[in-house]
Amino acid sequence: MNIVFILSALIASTVAEPVDSTLASSQILNLLNTESRPQSMMIPFEEIRIHRIRKEPLRFAGIMRINPALGISVAYSEPEETTFILTSGGLRIRQEGKPDQTAPEEAGKLVQVFLDLLTLNASILSEQFTLEETMEPSGWTLTLVPSDPALLRHFESIRIQGEHDWLKFITIEHGKGRRKQMVFRSMPLEWDATPEEIESFF
Protein backbone atom coordinates (compact mmCIF):
# COMPACT_ATOMS: atom_id res chain seq x y z
CA MET A 1 0.00 0.00 0.00
CA ASN A 2 1.39 3.34 -0.97
CA ILE A 3 0.41 5.61 1.83
CA VAL A 4 3.28 7.98 1.63
CA PHE A 5 1.36 10.52 -0.36
CA ILE A 6 -1.30 10.96 2.21
CA LEU A 7 1.23 11.58 4.92
CA SER A 8 1.22 15.33 4.66
CA ALA A 9 -2.45 15.28 5.37
CA LEU A 10 -1.86 13.14 8.41
CA ILE A 11 0.81 15.37 9.79
CA ALA A 12 -0.96 18.61 9.07
CA SER A 13 -3.66 19.82 11.35
CA THR A 14 -7.15 19.92 10.06
CA VAL A 15 -7.81 22.91 7.90
CA ALA A 16 -10.03 25.40 9.69
CA GLU A 17 -13.29 26.73 8.30
CA PRO A 18 -12.91 29.49 5.70
CA VAL A 19 -12.61 32.95 7.15
CA ASP A 20 -15.35 35.37 6.46
CA SER A 21 -14.21 37.85 3.86
CA THR A 22 -15.71 40.10 1.28
CA LEU A 23 -16.30 38.39 -2.00
CA ALA A 24 -13.77 39.76 -4.44
CA SER A 25 -14.14 39.66 -8.17
CA SER A 26 -11.21 38.53 -10.26
CA GLN A 27 -10.74 39.78 -13.78
CA ILE A 28 -8.42 36.91 -14.52
CA LEU A 29 -10.73 34.20 -13.26
CA ASN A 30 -13.53 35.78 -15.26
CA LEU A 31 -11.24 35.80 -18.25
CA LEU A 32 -10.51 32.11 -17.87
CA ASN A 33 -14.13 31.24 -17.18
CA THR A 34 -15.28 32.09 -20.66
CA GLU A 35 -18.10 30.28 -22.34
CA SER A 36 -15.68 28.99 -24.95
CA ARG A 37 -13.78 27.14 -22.26
CA PRO A 38 -14.62 23.45 -22.59
CA GLN A 39 -16.55 21.96 -19.65
CA SER A 40 -14.74 18.65 -19.79
CA MET A 41 -11.12 19.02 -20.81
CA MET A 42 -7.67 17.52 -20.87
CA ILE A 43 -4.38 19.39 -20.67
CA PRO A 44 -0.88 17.97 -21.03
CA PHE A 45 1.40 19.34 -18.35
CA GLU A 46 4.94 19.35 -17.12
CA GLU A 47 5.71 19.60 -13.43
CA ILE A 48 8.90 21.03 -12.05
CA ARG A 49 9.73 20.46 -8.40
CA ILE A 50 12.37 22.58 -6.80
CA HIS A 51 13.76 21.62 -3.39
CA ARG A 52 16.70 23.16 -1.61
CA ILE A 53 18.12 19.69 -0.90
CA ARG A 54 18.50 19.08 -4.65
CA LYS A 55 20.90 20.91 -6.88
CA GLU A 56 18.65 20.37 -9.91
CA PRO A 57 14.87 20.38 -10.04
CA LEU A 58 12.88 17.19 -10.57
CA ARG A 59 10.69 16.99 -13.65
CA PHE A 60 7.44 15.09 -14.16
CA ALA A 61 4.97 15.00 -17.03
CA GLY A 62 1.43 13.84 -17.62
CA ILE A 63 -2.10 14.79 -18.59
CA MET A 64 -4.61 16.52 -16.39
CA ARG A 65 -8.29 15.78 -17.01
CA ILE A 66 -11.01 18.00 -15.61
CA ASN A 67 -14.63 16.97 -15.49
CA PRO A 68 -16.94 19.35 -13.60
CA ALA A 69 -19.16 16.48 -12.45
CA LEU A 70 -16.43 14.04 -11.45
CA GLY A 71 -13.43 16.12 -10.41
CA ILE A 72 -9.85 16.21 -11.56
CA SER A 73 -7.59 13.40 -12.64
CA VAL A 74 -3.86 14.07 -12.74
CA ALA A 75 -2.25 11.23 -14.65
CA TYR A 76 1.55 11.25 -14.44
CA SER A 77 3.24 9.39 -17.26
CA GLU A 78 6.85 10.22 -16.41
CA PRO A 79 8.90 9.08 -14.62
CA GLU A 80 6.28 6.51 -13.61
CA GLU A 81 2.55 6.05 -14.19
CA THR A 82 0.53 7.27 -11.24
CA THR A 83 -2.85 8.96 -11.24
CA PHE A 84 -4.08 11.33 -8.56
CA ILE A 85 -7.86 11.56 -8.53
CA LEU A 86 -9.23 14.59 -6.75
CA THR A 87 -12.96 14.59 -6.15
CA SER A 88 -15.40 16.06 -3.70
CA GLY A 89 -15.06 12.77 -1.81
CA GLY A 90 -11.31 13.24 -1.32
CA LEU A 91 -8.13 12.02 -2.92
CA ARG A 92 -7.30 8.64 -4.37
CA ILE A 93 -4.06 7.42 -5.88
CA ARG A 94 -4.17 4.84 -8.63
CA GLN A 95 -1.18 2.76 -9.69
CA GLU A 96 -1.01 -0.16 -12.06
CA GLY A 97 -1.53 -3.50 -10.35
CA LYS A 98 -2.37 -1.98 -6.97
CA PRO A 99 -5.69 -1.18 -5.31
CA ASP A 100 -6.65 2.47 -5.19
CA GLN A 101 -5.28 4.22 -2.14
CA THR A 102 -7.58 6.65 -0.42
CA ALA A 103 -6.25 9.60 1.51
CA PRO A 104 -7.73 10.02 4.96
CA GLU A 105 -10.59 12.44 5.42
CA GLU A 106 -8.23 15.01 6.89
CA ALA A 107 -6.83 15.51 3.38
CA GLY A 108 -10.29 16.30 2.04
CA LYS A 109 -10.27 20.02 2.70
CA LEU A 110 -6.87 20.48 1.11
CA VAL A 111 -8.08 18.53 -1.91
CA GLN A 112 -11.11 20.80 -2.10
CA VAL A 113 -8.84 23.85 -2.32
CA PHE A 114 -7.12 22.40 -5.38
CA LEU A 115 -10.45 21.42 -6.88
CA ASP A 116 -11.69 24.98 -6.51
CA LEU A 117 -8.45 26.31 -7.92
CA LEU A 118 -8.34 24.07 -10.98
CA THR A 119 -12.04 24.47 -11.72
CA LEU A 120 -11.59 28.24 -11.26
CA ASN A 121 -14.24 28.53 -8.60
CA ALA A 122 -13.83 32.27 -8.09
CA SER A 123 -16.30 32.76 -5.27
CA ILE A 124 -14.86 30.04 -3.04
CA LEU A 125 -11.26 30.96 -3.81
CA SER A 126 -11.83 34.56 -2.89
CA GLU A 127 -13.16 33.41 0.48
CA GLN A 128 -10.09 31.40 1.33
CA PHE A 129 -7.37 33.47 -0.31
CA THR A 130 -6.27 37.02 -0.70
CA LEU A 131 -6.17 37.57 -4.45
CA GLU A 132 -3.67 39.86 -6.14
CA GLU A 133 -3.81 40.45 -9.87
CA THR A 134 -1.26 41.89 -12.24
CA MET A 135 -2.13 42.58 -15.86
CA GLU A 136 0.72 43.27 -18.25
CA PRO A 137 0.95 43.28 -22.04
CA SER A 138 2.99 40.09 -21.90
CA GLY A 139 0.41 38.32 -19.76
CA TRP A 140 -1.30 38.27 -16.44
CA THR A 141 -0.47 36.94 -12.97
CA LEU A 142 -2.91 36.03 -10.20
CA THR A 143 -1.39 35.41 -6.79
CA LEU A 144 -3.41 33.64 -4.12
CA VAL A 145 -2.22 33.95 -0.52
CA PRO A 146 -4.06 31.73 1.97
CA SER A 147 -6.02 33.60 4.59
CA ASP A 148 -6.15 30.53 6.77
CA PRO A 149 -3.02 29.76 8.88
CA ALA A 150 -3.72 26.03 8.48
CA LEU A 151 -3.42 26.35 4.70
CA LEU A 152 -0.26 28.40 5.15
CA ARG A 153 1.41 25.32 6.61
CA HIS A 154 1.08 23.68 3.22
CA PHE A 155 1.99 26.59 0.99
CA GLU A 156 2.78 30.26 1.26
CA SER A 157 1.19 31.25 -2.03
CA ILE A 158 -0.10 29.98 -5.33
CA ARG A 159 0.67 31.95 -8.45
CA ILE A 160 -1.10 31.36 -11.73
CA GLN A 161 0.15 32.97 -14.87
CA GLY A 162 -1.10 33.12 -18.43
CA GLU A 163 -1.90 35.05 -21.49
CA HIS A 164 -5.43 35.90 -22.60
CA ASP A 165 -7.51 32.83 -21.80
CA TRP A 166 -4.52 30.50 -21.75
CA LEU A 167 -3.40 29.37 -18.34
CA LYS A 168 0.32 28.69 -18.73
CA PHE A 169 1.77 28.21 -15.23
CA ILE A 170 0.67 27.30 -11.75
CA THR A 171 3.41 27.85 -9.20
CA ILE A 172 3.02 26.72 -5.62
CA GLU A 173 5.45 28.32 -3.16
CA HIS A 174 5.78 25.94 -0.23
CA GLY A 175 8.43 28.03 1.47
CA LYS A 176 11.72 26.84 2.97
CA GLY A 177 13.21 26.44 -0.47
CA ARG A 178 10.44 24.34 -1.97
CA ARG A 179 8.45 25.26 -5.01
CA LYS A 180 6.30 23.37 -7.48
CA GLN A 181 5.45 24.58 -10.94
CA MET A 182 3.00 23.12 -13.41
CA VAL A 183 3.58 24.19 -16.97
CA PHE A 184 0.80 23.98 -19.57
CA ARG A 185 2.39 24.29 -22.98
CA SER A 186 -0.89 24.09 -24.88
CA MET A 187 -4.49 25.22 -24.52
CA PRO A 188 -6.93 22.76 -22.92
CA LEU A 189 -8.50 20.28 -25.32
CA GLU A 190 -12.13 19.30 -25.11
CA TRP A 191 -12.37 15.87 -23.62
CA ASP A 192 -15.28 13.85 -24.88
CA ALA A 193 -14.75 11.10 -22.35
CA THR A 194 -15.90 7.56 -23.07
CA PRO A 195 -17.26 5.46 -20.19
CA GLU A 196 -14.04 3.39 -20.33
CA GLU A 197 -11.93 6.53 -19.97
CA ILE A 198 -14.04 7.73 -17.06
CA GLU A 199 -13.62 4.39 -15.36
CA SER A 200 -9.92 4.47 -16.06
CA PHE A 201 -9.22 8.00 -14.84
CA PHE A 202 -11.83 8.44 -12.06
Partner 1 sequence: MKNHSRNISRILLILYLGVMLVLCLSIDWKHALSTNLFDLIDTDHHLPEEAREAQSILQKSLSKEISLIAIPSDPAQLPALKSVFLQGVRNLKPVAEVTCIGDMPTPGSWMADLFEHKHLLLLPDWWQGVSEGASSPISDEELRGIADEAAASLDAFLQTPESTAYEAHVDGDPLLLIPSLLSGLSGTSPNPSGVPRIEISAQLKEAPASSESVQTILRDIDTLRATLIEAYPGVELLDNGYHRYASESESLIRAEIPRLNLLTAALTLVIAFVFLRKPLILLPILSVLVMSAGGAFVITLLILGQIHVISLVIGSILVGIAVDYSFHILLKREELQTLSFSETLFRILVPLLASCLSTVFGFLVLLTNPVTAIQQVGWLVGIGLILALSLSALTAMAMDRPGKIQLSRLLSFHPPLKHFRWDVPIACILGLACGVLYFHRSIEKDDIQDLQIPLTKAPINEQRMRSLSGDLTTRNHHWITIGSSISELVDRQHAHLTKIPPDSGIHALSLASILPSQDAVDRFDTFLQSDGQTFIQHFASALDHRGYDPEAFEAFLTAWKALESQPASDETREGIYRKLAAALPYPLTHLANQSGDHFWGMTLLQIPEDHAPVESDGSSFELAPLRTFNQALASYRKQVTFSVLSAAVLVTLACFVVFGFKAGTRVTGIPFLAVTFSLGILAIIHPVHSLFHLVGALLGACIALDYAVFVVQSKDRHPPVSIRISALTTLASFSVLATSRIAAVSDLGLTVVTIVAVGWLLAEYHKLESE
Distance CA 85, CA 38 (A): 20
- 105 or 132: CB nearest partner 1: 105
Q: How far is the CB of 146 from partner 1 (least distance, A)?
A: 16
Contacts 24+ apart (CB under 8 A), 187-190: 187/43, 188/37, 188/38, 188/41, 188/42, 188/43, 188/66, 189/38, 189/41, 189/42, 189/43, 190/38, 190/40, 190/41
Q: What angle do CA 48, 49, 55 make, to 5 degrees?
A: 110
Question: What is the closest distance, in whole angstroms, from the C-beta atom of residue 155 to partner 1 in the complex?
Answer: 10
Cβ-based nearer residue to partner 1, 76 or 129: 76
Q: How far is the CB of 200 from partner 1 (least distance, A)?
A: 10
Tell me how far, at minimum, the Cβ of 89 lies from partner 1, in Å: 2
The residue among 100 and 163 lying less far from partner 1, judged by its C-beta, is 100
* Binding stretches for partner 1 (CB under 8 A): 1-11, 47, 49, 51-56, 58, 60, 62, 70-71, 76, 79-80, 82, 84-85, 87-90, 92-93, 98-106, 108, 174, 176-178, 180, 198-199, 202
Which residues, including other chains, have CB under 8 Å from residue 96's CB and lie 6 or more apart?
Answer: 81
76 versus 140: smaller Cβ distance to partner 1: 76
